[in-house]
Amino acid sequence: MAACLRAARLSLRQMECLITPSVRGRSSPLSMVRLLPSSSVSSSSPSPPSALSSPSAPSSPFVSAFQGLVSGKRAFSTADSPNGLCLVTRIAPDFTADAVMPNGEIQKVTLSEVYRSGSGVVLLFYPLDFTFVCPSEILAFNAAVDEFEALGFKVWGVSVDSAYTHQAWTRTAPAEGGIGQLRFPLVSDLDKTISRKFHSLLNNSVALRTLAIVDKTGTVRHLTVNDLPLGRSVEEALRVCEMIREVEKNGGKQVCPANWRRGEKMMHASFEGVKNYLGQLKN
């Protein structure tokens, strides 16, 4: 328990790095971030005051990431994205790591064991526990666990926090800045190996909001990456899982056109199929 509390305090201190005394109680530093490249701002113009650029603000991975947003220095290093290869259509990089399970206990989990058991996996990478957009995403995906499982997919959360920080976060009520008990595992990527394998690591600090969907053969079928301030859509993740299932069911003979939804007509994967489908669209 003492270790959990220390881990929680560490994450809270990281979060507090974003809220210095000059802005605490007023506007959030997130609202002060300007998504403009540094070259678009005149060098003669004074920089707006920001907790992120304050010399007195303590350093943390989350602060460093947002400082990158302000400065425009957001390039990935070669270590962050090995060989620049896209993972889609490839077998997902395997890993074994500590995770906090739905029962609150810490145990080892292995990605390949899930798809070898006949289930797909939705990997939900996020920056840090005890922060901002992250709990809203975690709780939204948690509410949809039954829908994902009905489509044949498990949900796993992944961040660079320790398993003890995950544990402390799940033992804290949402009204107090936590997320409460979850219905899916939170994986600890403390050494950042998993985030690096999935090309998600930002400047060797935290994971971006990567959504990797792995099918029951272990193949990465979908990979999207959101910037730190941008939350993801559970509805879209479910739609992608449903498309994967439907294409698997028909052996790839039919494919999913733009904006496809459950129950809608699919397209035969042929030139005639394209003509027939497009010919029936309303102008």
pLDDT at 64 over 60: no
Alpha-carbon gap, residue 27 to 19, rounded angstroms: 9
Q: Considering only CA atoms, which of 66, 37, 38 is closest in space to residue 50? A: 66
0.85 surpassed by pTM: no
pLDDT at 18 over 80: no
> In this predicted model, what pLDDT tens digit does every residue of 27-61 receive, in sequence order?
333 332 323 333 333 333 333 333 333 334 444 54
Alpha-carbon gap, residue 179 to 177, rounded angstroms: 7
Phi-psi region of 248 (alpha: psi -120 to 50; beta: other; left: phi over 0): alpha
Residue 280's pLDDT is 87
pLDDT at 79 over 70: no
What burial letters (b/e) apply to 240-279, b meaning 16+ CB within 10 Å?
bbbbbbbbeeeeeebbbeeebeeeeebbbeeeebeeebee
CATH architecture, domain 83-233: 3-Layer(aba) Sandwich (3.40)
100 backbone dihedrals φ, ψ, rounded to 5°? -90, 120
The catalytic position among 4, 17, 134, 241 is 134
pLDDT at 223 over 70: yes
Range of weakest confidence among 82-91, 199-208, 232-241: 82-91
The more confidently predicted of residues 258 and 85 is 258
Q: Is the dihedral of CA 119, 124, 125, 127 positive or negative?
A: negative
- With a CB cutoff of 8 Å and minimum separation 6, the contacts of 40 are none
Alpha-carbon gap, residue 137 to 209, rounded angstroms: 10
Alpha-carbon gap, residue 201 to 107, rounded angstroms: 24
When the pLDDT of each residue in the chain is averaged and rounded to a whole number, the result is 79
Residue 85's pLDDT is 60
> In this predicted model, what pLDDT tens digit does every residue of 171-200 receive, in sequence order?
999 999 999 999 999 999 999 999 999 999
- 3 state DSSP class of 120: strand
Contact 8, 100 (CB under 8 A): no
Kindly indicate the confidence band of residue 15, based on its pLDDT and cuts at 50, 70 and 90: very low
Please say if 134 is a catalytic residue.
Answer: yes
Residues 125-135, mean pLDDT to the nearest whole number = 96
Specify burial of residue 191 (Cβ count, 10 A radius: 0-12, 13-18, 19+).
exposed
Q: Sheet containing 220-226: which strands, arranged edge to edge?
A: 106-110, 96-100, 186-188, 153-159, 120-125, 209-214, 220-226
Range of weakest confidence among 78-87, 138-147, 181-190, 247-256: 78-87
Residue 227's pLDDT is 96
Contact 252, 269 (CB under 8 A): yes
Residue 118's pLDDT is 96
Range of weakest confidence among 83-87, 90-94, 121-125: 83-87
Residues 126-133, mean pLDDT to the nearest whole number = 96
Query: Domain limits of the chain?
Result: 83-233
| Lookup result for tokens 């099918």 | 215
